[in-house]
Structures are given as structure tokens and as C-alpha cells.
Structure 1
Amino acid sequence: MTMPELLADAVAGPGGREHWLCEGAPGIERAALMQGRSAEAVGALGAVASGSPHATRVGMGILRQGGTAADAAVAAALATMVADPPNASPAGRGHILWAPVGETPRAIDGATRAPAHVSEGVRRLPDRQALPLPGIVRALLRLHAEGGSLPLARVVAPARDLARDGFTVPRELAAVWAWRAPDLVDPDARAHYLPDGRPVPEGAVFRNPGLAGFLDRLISTGQDPFADPVFAGPFCERLAAKGGFWTVGDLRAAVPLVGETVELREKGWRLTSIGRQGWGHTLLRIVALVNSAVPGPILDIEIAHLLAILRAFEERPEELRSLKPKSDPLPWDALSARLAEGLPEGWADSAVLAAALDRARTPAPSDDRDTTHLSVVDADGMRVALTQSIGPHFGARVADPVTGILLAHSYRMAEDPVPGARDVTEQCPCLLDIGGACYALGGAGSERIPGAVAGVIRHLLNGSSLANALAAPRANWVGATARLHLDVPEGLETRLAEAGAEVSFTGRGPVDHLGIVQAVGRRADGTVMAAADPAYAGSADAA
């Protein structure tokens, strides 16, 4: 059996935590499932944490050349498109939150959007046609223009070299590749990403010369190739044969927007995230609700965390899973006004959680979806939190035959194909300031993101080191099921069962994870640090 099969079989097994440990996951290192293995890298020049060891290496290389955190984040994001194809692509979307030291955080909205001539009234498009216009590359170019110092060509070149020369596939990426291989039915996706008809195994070198050509064009022209009619015209023609609706005019108009930010201030700390273009408000709401319950017994705090997620999700203006706008959402001003509200009186009673569960029940998700995040800080204190996505693993599972570029999947287009509508996803990169320390962090894992990031923030606010905050046991929701790390406090499963919650257990790995968080920080003395989530193939480095 493959690692995904082993993990999925183990999580699905009945009998709770003890069954998982005694009967599940044969052949997997038990210590790795029970304990986080995040190590903290420390330095003074700068720090990078990302979902790919190759992206982290590229970002650190740019910092060592004297680049800013913005330079390093752009380089690492492009390298991620090469070295983590299930989760990132030049045709994807992204949100960026960044700030030079001492300055107000700024957001860049690189969301994907529906083409202008998608017909209104179409209730549901085939998945392969839900292909939104890209937003990430021009968002990266804006970040470089506003915060970079190195020439663009030097920033892009490492990703181009990675695509041309190849990269070694790490174990976790190989597991996801094998898991999702049956979903790649598009002939061009199979030709590019299943060499010889098979997923790329751990330790193999994977090359993508077509993507290297795209990045070469970015280097030579200094602009997003999707905005260049010479490149975009033939691309749109090839895409039309696959059911796409793109035009050259659509692509030229798909510019990133200045993003909105939201902020939560409490005594001694401040948390900033992106606004209504993502789920930053939901993140802040979870943190504020849990903070109203602190201090308290550990089991009560874990229940508060799970209850806070349900309440924050209930307030979202989009439906869970489909991300379709609700017909009668709460006004944004009303959502913002609720940030300071705490949990209701008697919140620790199981009946309160049971009532929240009844209101929040949704169909069981068909599969886990993913994202990828990276965080960077430099010696001057500039911070960047950058999240990008193409939807589920391998996006729409459709690839351009020439460049091998994977197309993103738009949940909004699939559910509510309004011309020009922008995709609002669960991305919530954030910046946290605690006294003299400052952090940049964010996560991957669709609706698991805000709960996972909020959990890390809770531990940082309680004084944990960055590595320990990332490695601490987590609890999160997937649909109506409470998914728990195996090493959550004893008694949590019983408390959840009393409230009528379904419970499943998981270890730390690329399948059935609880959100994947990457974080960096800087202390008042100038020391920088980074930690990568032990759930995926990511890495952290500092110098």
C-alpha cells in the first residue's frame, strides 16, 4: 500500500485513538505520527519557511544575495510553482500580506476570476470548464515592484533553473502525486505529470522544460506572459479546445488589486490579516473568541477552539466547501463589529457545542483540498506572508500541452458562474506582533486553514517557541467531523462525543492533515527564526 492508502485506512478505522495506534498505519514510523518534528532555524540575515525544501532553498539564496523579504518571497513562490505542482501554478491565485518594519501592513489581491463572457444562469459547469483567469504572477510582480531591491531577472532565474534542470521529489510530495494520479485524465496533464504513465516517485528528478520556457519569457520581457498577446493568444486557442473561455482581452484585464486588511488589537499584541478577498476575518474571529476563554483548563480551551471555528464559519458570507455566496449574508460591517465579542455564557457546556454543530452540519467533503503557504522575514524586519493555490491537488487537472502549465479550478465558477466574479477562498496570510517580537505566518488546507493558523497563534500568545507552536497537537473540523491529532489531551474525544460530534484521529502527514502552517519571526534583538509544519515536505531555514 502507498502512504496515502495506509494513512487513509488508519484514519477510517473504527474505535478511536487506541484502534488507530494499535491497528492502523502499519509500516509508518509511530513517533512521526504522535509527535511534531518541527525544528526552529535561527539566524540574523533572514528566514524562510515554505511547503517545499526547494522553494525554501531558493528564497534563502536570494536573501544571501542581499535581497529583501519581498525578493525572496517572489523567488520562493515561483520555485513552488515548479517544485510543488499539485498545489501551485502560474495560472493560480494568491494573496500576499507584507510590511516593511514599522510600517502598516499592505495586501495584494491576486485572486483568480471568471472570464467576462461566462454565461449567467448556467447552474453548473463541468469541472474541466471551471477554469478561472490567473492572478498570482502579476501579484508577485507587484510585490517585487513595491518591496524588492534585486533585478527581477535575478529573482526569477532560480525557479527557471529548477524547472529546466529538475528537482528531486521529496517523500510527501511523491505520496500526494501517487494519491492523485488517477484524477489526471486530461491527456496533456498525464503527458506532463505522469511520465511513462506513472506518478513521479520519491527521489526521482522531475523536469518541466515547458514551464522553464514560461519563466524565461518572464525574465526576458519583465512582464507576466499572460499579459502579452504574443504568448496569450496561442494559449487561449489551445485552452478553447479544452472548454476554456479565456480571451486575450480577459487576460490583459486580469490585474491584481490592492487588498483590504483587517486587524485585531488586544493588550500587548496585534494580529493583521487580509480582508473580504479571503478568510482573514474568520481567522481573527476565531482568535478573538478563543482569547475570551483564556486562561482556563486545557480541555475547555480545546473545546473553545473548536466552538470558535464553528461560530466563525457560520458567519461567513460564503457557503462552506462550494464557496458560493450566501443568498442573505451578514453585512461586512456587522461581521467586523463582532470581532470584539467573546464566547457566550456557559459556552463550555456540551449543549452549546451541540447546538453549533446542528447549525453547521454540511455534507461530508468528497476529498481534502489543499493550498501552499510561505513566510519570509529579512534582516531589516520586512515580513511577507504569501498563500497561493490552484484549488484541489493539481487544480482543474487540465494542462496546457505546450508549457505544461496546470489550470486552476474555480469553485465559484463551478457553483455560481457570474462573469468577472473573483474567487474568494479560505486563504488568510497574517502578521502577528507580540511586544517586541513579530511574525509572518499562514497555512494550507482549504477550510482547515483559519483553525490551524489560529491554533499556532494561541500557542505563540501563550509564550511557546515558534517550533513548539507549530508542533503542538491540533483539533479542527472537516465537514461535521472533528479531526484530532493522536496526541490531543486525553478526554477531548469524550467531550466531543457528549456534544454529538463525530470524531476521527490522524497523525502528521500529507494526507488527512489538520492544516499546514509555515511561519517566520523576528525578535527585538534582531534574531530571526523560521519553522515549517511537520505535516508536509516543507522546510525552514535561517542565516
Structure 2
Amino acid sequence: MPWRRVALSLLIALAPASLAFAAEGQAAARPQQAAQAATPPGAAIASAHALATEAGLDVLAEGGNAFDAAIAVSAVLSVVEPISSGIGGGGFFLLHDAASGRDVFIDAREMSPAAATPERYLDADGGFDRDRATNGAWSAGIPGLPAAFVHIQAQYGKLPLSRTLAPAISIAREGFPVYGRMARGYAARSSVMERYPGTREVYLAGGRPIQEGDIFRQPDLARTLELLAEKGFDGFYRGEVGAKLVAGVNAEGGQWTADELAAYRVREREPIRFGYHGWEIVTAPPPSSGGIALAQMLQILAPYALDDMDEAHSTHLVVESMRRAYRDRTFYLGDPDFVEIPQRLLASADYAAGLRATIHPEKATPSELLSGAPTPLEDEETTHFSIIDADGNRVGGTQTVNLLYGSGLVAPGTGVLLNNEMDDFALKPGTPNAFGVMGFDANAPQPGKRMLSSMTPTFMVSPDKVAVLGTPGGSRIITMVLLGVLGYDAGLSAADVAALPRYHHQWMPDAIQAETGTFDAATAQALRAMGHTVVRPEDEVAEGRRSSDAWGNFQTVAWDIANNRLEGGTDPRNPVGKAEVR
């Protein structure tokens, strides 16, 4: 199996994992209840930057809970990972409250401005204007992350925002060392970012572009975070910051209004739940596409003895499950406040069984043979963190500004780098976005609507173990979480799950994409013999057409209930990440 290799080129031996399955689609007798009988021996946090992990642990040490720590971690990531996330973007937070046993999904996804109609993203010839969709004022949705901080603190936290935002404020003001990925990302986006005066004030403050090793300071962002800590929602969405955000967008040709900025609200939604091999999977509902896709893929795969197969055949079946889930994503999923989603059907075991019946065990299904119209039922970007505290509360948080450095536009005087999430809408039906995924009417922009997302914070719960997992990676997020679930199910540690090699299929384009080192030549050839197109970076490296490739930034923590032991796993592809148990 692919998850037997826990580094990009390292093979490890695994004892055969038990594949005694729970009944399809049924959680194993609410394993959440078994997890309430004990509490963890401490706390564990895994995030994409050591400063964020340390901030969260410090908040816990001062009497905060996992939800307070989530605010601290998220806010610090917003400061130190502008390449991936920030308070000018949005995110999803999956929470578990140990005292009540309740799970809740906090939707802080960005919203469409009223003026952002599909016609705004067409050029003079009626073609899709990719620049407007991904760069500058028209690419930005109304941010949601600051409202999430306020909501989580008020409803679930123990400490005030003045304490949980303090680490981020200090780091923004005093600075932190620029790391390689941040500098490389800026170099890739500099021609866009340097269009805008507000961005130049921040990223060219030293008279030249940021370079690895520089101390990067953001005094305007520190001031914005201080106002958020002091005044809550009004400190960002109204008052001086709100006015500067609207002015900054409109000065670059956009059309935001103060009223729609102040009208932003987070949504609490019920997570998706389903059973897989004795685990209860708790995951993201729409406007994330991840939970429904994960339910489809895992329930398609549940009856197969994947661990008894050779790598090519097990990969073939996993890919076929991916193909079918992403096809449904294209046509049915969007903001549930605006469109009717057949969620119960799409996430059901019976529907998965029907999809499974269309899979040939030895041959790839060409994507063009799966209907290209709705049936009548109906990387680097983004960041993730995982937390378990000593009371058993847990948080999986995934947040983003979409592409590298989002829109590239910093609203002058705020330090806020705005997202470019409008590209996640189906701005022109049937036209792929920057991640190559398509959409139609269900994901078309409307005033106040939230764009479809792939962010998939997820819990796995059994009587013996609890895990929190997630990753960035654009449209590949869902399949990376799928492979993480399969890894935990096969008995891997948190560190090994975070290091798993990765592959992906998203219906269109009809190809298996893979990281460097995921498939050896024999496995790739066997998959091709089944009819799959396999894109291996090492083949293209050998031909001089590209460099090696690695995906995602997986962050996970797990509580071994049986042995009362915590563990964390941070992605080895990211040298500044940190997982710590304390």
C-alpha cells in the first residue's frame, strides 16, 4: 500500500493491519462516548510554524483551553505565514467540546461582495479574465477569519482576545525571520504584489524585496490585531480598519461597501459523520466539499481488503473512488445557504455502493465516460493546525488566502493582505479555476454567498484512539486527508501519517498526479497498463521538464486512549513546522 512508505523514498515494514470492517455507513456504537471516559495526559499541538505551536502551548499553560489555543495558533499563523493564510482570508474550525461531547463546525469562509457578478470576470471578448479572478481587488472576498476569533472566544474560550491575540501582535510588531518558502513565494508573486502601494509599503519596507533571513515586521498588522483584541468584531469590520479595507479595495477598482463588510457573520454548522472500519469520522460539511467527498471515497473503499493487494491494484481502487467523488463535487456542491445540496444522498453508504458497482477491478474508468452533466438526484497555499488539550477538547483548523499571497493586495494602513478566494467560485461555468477544478451553477457567485472549498479538518474517533488531521493543498486537500485516514486505519503513528507520500485524481483532468517518490517505475507502469495516465515528477525531471515536487503541509495530533499517550506529527516537507506534546 502507498501508506507503507512514510518518507518520500523510505520503505518501512508494517505488520498486516486488521481489516475487520464495521457495517457500511455505520459508526461503531458512538466511539465518542468511549473517549469521554478518560482525559489525555497533557496537550498536543501540531502547526505549520514553531512560533504558532509555542503560542498555543503558552496559552494552554496560562489556563486557556483548546479553543483559546486555536485562536492563538491561527492568529500567529496569520502573521508568520502570509504566503498561506491571514486575517484577510477565511477558514474552517472543527471543534469538539469534551464536557458536552458536542462537535461543531465553524464556517468562517469568505463571502462574495454584491458587485462580484460573473460578468465582472469576463474580458471584452467574453473570455475568462484570469488576472481579475486571481489578482487584486476583484479577486478578494469579504474576510471571515477575524469574525471566527471573536465567535470562538465568546462561545467556547476561557481567555480574552487580549491574551490569545497577544503573541500574534508581538510577532507582527517585533518581526520574525523570513524562511525560504516565504521568500520564494514572494519572488513568484512579486510582479503582482508590487502593483499595489499598500503591499509595497509592507514587502519593500527595507528598500528591496524580502529575502530569507530578513526580520519581517508588520506594524500596521499589529495595530489591526490590537483593535480586534480591544473592540472585537467592530475592531475589524467597522471603524478605522473597516473604512481602510473598503477604501483600499475600491481604490484599486473593486466595489466593496461598508455595509456588506459589517454584515459578515460566521456560521455554525453540523459536521458530517459516517463510519469507516470501526472509526467514527467527523468532518467538514458544505461549503466545504471535503466531508461529502471523504464520505463517498471511504464508503466506496470500505469493503475492499486494500492491505492485501499489491500497490498498483490498491491505488487503482483509491483513484477510482477519488474520480467519482470529484465528479460529484463539480456539479452538486456549493454554499448550503444558497443552493439545495442532496447531502444525505451523496454521503450515504447506499449511494457509495452504487458508485462502487461502476468500478472495474482491473481497468481505469475514463473520466469522459462518467456523465458530464448532473444526474437527476441531484501546497503550498492554505495552512492547517491540530490541537488536543488536557481536558480532551480538540480543534482542527484549516485557513487560507487561496493562492500564494492571496490577491497580492494589502489595504493601505491595515497590514491586511487580502485573499483571492473569488477564484474558487465557478466564475465562468465549466472553466477550471487555478487548481484545475470546475464548477457550475451550484457554485456560481451571488451577493453574500460563500465559495466552495476543499478545506477538510477532520476527527477520527474510535474506542482506542482519537486523531485530528488536516492539510493545505488546494484541490488536493481532500485526497491527502483520505490518505491520512487510511494511514491511521493501517496503524501508522501521527508522525508517519504526516509523512505519507501522496497522489491525487480529481475527475478532470483525467490523470493521476503524484509527488516525487510516491510510485516506483513498476507500479506506475502497472497503473498505465490498467488505462491510467500517471504523472510522475521524476519522469519529467529525467527529461529536464521540471523539478521534483512535494505537496501539502500535513499537521496531525492523536491521543492513544488505550495507553493514555499523546503524539503529534508535522509534515517533514515543511522545515519550520512543529508538533509538540506537553
Q: Residue 532 of structure 2 aligns to which amino acid in structure 1?
A: A
CA distance in 1, matches of 2:371, 2:392: 40
**Structure 1 position 182, deviation (Å):** 3.6
Letter in 2 for 1:258: E
Counterpart code for 2:356: P
- Give the 3-state SS of the residue equivalent to 1:374 in structure 2: strand
Q: What are the residue-to-residue correspondences of 1:24-173 with 2, within 5 Å?
A: 34-35=9-10, 44-101=41-98, 103-119=101-117, 121-122=119-120, 124=122, 126-127=132-133, 128=136, 129-173=138-182
1:120 deviates by 6.5
Q: Describe the shift of the 1:468–1:76 C-alpha distance in structure 2 as closer, same or farther (beyond 3 A).
A: same
User: Quick check: 1:431 aligned with 2:459?
Assistant: yes
Q: What is aligned with 1:307?
A: 320
Give the counterpart letter for 1:180 in structure 2.
R
Report the alpha carbon displacement of residue 176 of structure 1 after superposing the two structures with TM. Answer: 2.8
CA shift, 1:49, in A, is: 0.9
1:106–1:259 CA contact under 8 A, matched in 2: yes
Helix, strand or coil for the counterpart of 1:80? helix
AA matched with 1:304? L
2:242 and 2:329 map into 1 onto residues whose CA distance is 36
**1:443-522 equivalent positions in 2, closer than 5 A:** 443-477=471-505, 479-488=509-518, 490=520, 491-506=522-537, 512-522=549-559
CA contact (8 A) 1:98 1:106 kept: yes
AA aligned opposite 1:542:
V
Tell me what 1:372 maps to. Answer: 383
Are 1:408 and 2:383 matched, yes or no? no
Matches of 1:485 and 1:528, distance apart in 2: 29
Name the CA distance, whole Å, in 1 between partners of 2:183 and 2:350.
41
Q: How big is each residue's C-alpha offset from its partner over 1:45-94, in whole Å with a ceiling of 9 and x where there is no partner?
A: 21111122221121122122221111111101000110000111212111
Task: Select 1:260's aligned residue among 270, 280, 289.
Answer: 270
Alpha-carbon distance in structure 2 between the residues aligned to 1:233 and 1:304: 52
* Alignment match, 1:190: 200
Letter in 1 for 2:572: P
Look up the equivalent residue of 1:527 and give its one-letter code: R
The aligned residue for residue 568 of structure 2 is: 530
What is the DSSP-based 3-state SS (H/G/I as helix, E as strand, rest coil) of the residue aligned with 2:455? coil
CA–CA distance in structure 2, aligned partners of residues 360 and 185 of structure 1: 44
SS of aligned partner of 2:274: strand
Amino acid at match of 1:107: F
Tell me the equivalent position of 2:297. Answer: 286
In the alignment, structure 1 segments of 5+ residues that lack a partner are: 1-30, 38-42, 362-367
Corresponding position of 1:207? 217
Q: Say which SS state the counterpart of residue 34 (structure 1) adopts.
A: coil
Q: CA deviation at 1:36?
A: 10
Could you tell me how far apart the structure 1 residues matched to 2:11 and 2:166 are?
34
1:236 and 2:233 matched: no
Please, what TM-score do these two structures have when normalized by structure 1? 0.83
1:255 offset after TM fit, Å?
A: 0.7
CA pair 138-318 structure 1, distance change in 2 beyond 3 A: farther
Contact 1:71–1:150 (CA under 8 A) maintained in structure 2: yes
Equivalence for 2:344: 333
Counterpart-to-counterpart distance in 2, 1:52 and 1:517: 12
SS at match of 1:402: coil
Hey, what does 2:17 align to over in structure 1?
A: none
Indicate if the aligned counterparts of 1:310 and 1:357 stay in contact, CA closer than 8 A.
no
Q: 1:407, CA displacement in angstroms?
A: 0.9
1:264–1:339 CA contact under 8 A, matched in 2: no
Alpha carbons of 1:103 and 1:54: their partners in 2 closer, same or farther (altered >3 Å)? same
Letter in 2 for 1:456: G
Aligned to 2:347, what secondary structure does the other structure show?
helix
Superimposed CA distance per residue, residues 281-314 of structure 1 (whole angstroms, 9 cap, x where no aligned partner): 1122222223332343142222222221111101
Q: Number of paired residues?
A: 497
- Contact 1:387–1:443 (8 Å) recurs in 2: yes
Contact kept, 8 Å, 2:457 with 2:469, in 1: the verdict is yes
Distance 1:220 1:104, change over 3 A: closer
Q: Distance in 1 between matches of 2:517 and 2:325?
A: 25
Identity over aligned pairs, percent: 26
The alpha-carbon distance between structure 1 residues 140 and 177, as it changes in their structure 2 partners (threshold 3 A), is: same
Between the aligned partners of 2:371 and 2:310, the Cα distance in structure 1 is 24
8 Å contact kept, 2:445–2:451: no
- Other-structure match for 2:231: 221
2:204–2:210 contact (8 Å) kept in structure 1: yes
Tell me which residue corresponds to 1:399.
410
Matched to 1:513, the amino acid is A
TM-score (norm 2): 0.78
Structure 1 residues 399, 475: closer, same or farther in 2, change over 3 A? same
- Residues in 1 aligned to 2:113 and 2:350: alpha-carbon distance in whole angstroms: 34
Q: Secondary structure at the match of 1:419?
A: coil
User: Partners of 1:495 and 1:329 in 2: how far apart?
Assistant: 41
- Alpha-carbon contact 1:372-1:387 (below 8 Å) kept: yes
Distance 1:258 1:172, change over 3 A: same
Q: Any unmatched runs of 5+ in structure 2? A: 1-5, 13-39, 123-128, 373-378, 429-443, 539-546
- Shift of the 205–480 alpha-carbon distance from structure 1 to 2, 3 Å rule, reads farther
Q: CA RMSD in A?
A: 3.1
User: Is contact 2:229–2:235 with CA below 8 Å preserved after alignment?
Assistant: no
SS for the counterpart of 1:316 is helix
Asked whether the 8 Å contact 1:485–1:506 carries over to 2, the reply is yes
Q: Distance in 2 between matches of 1:113 and 1:450?
A: 22
Alpha-carbon distance change, 184 to 34 in structure 1, aligned in 2, over 3 angstroms: farther
Distance 1:515 1:500, change over 3 A: farther
Query: Following the alignment from structure 2 to structure 1, what is the Cα–Cα distance between the partners of residues 371 and 43?
Result: 42
Q: Give the AA of the match of 1:91.
A: G
SS at match of 2:91: strand
Give the partner amino acid of 1:538: G
C-alpha distance in structure 2 between counterparts of 1:32 and 1:108, whole Å: 33
CA distance in 2, matches of 1:36, 1:169: 33
Q: Which of the residues 377, 381, 393 maps onto 1:382?
A: 393
| Counterpart AA for 1:297 | M
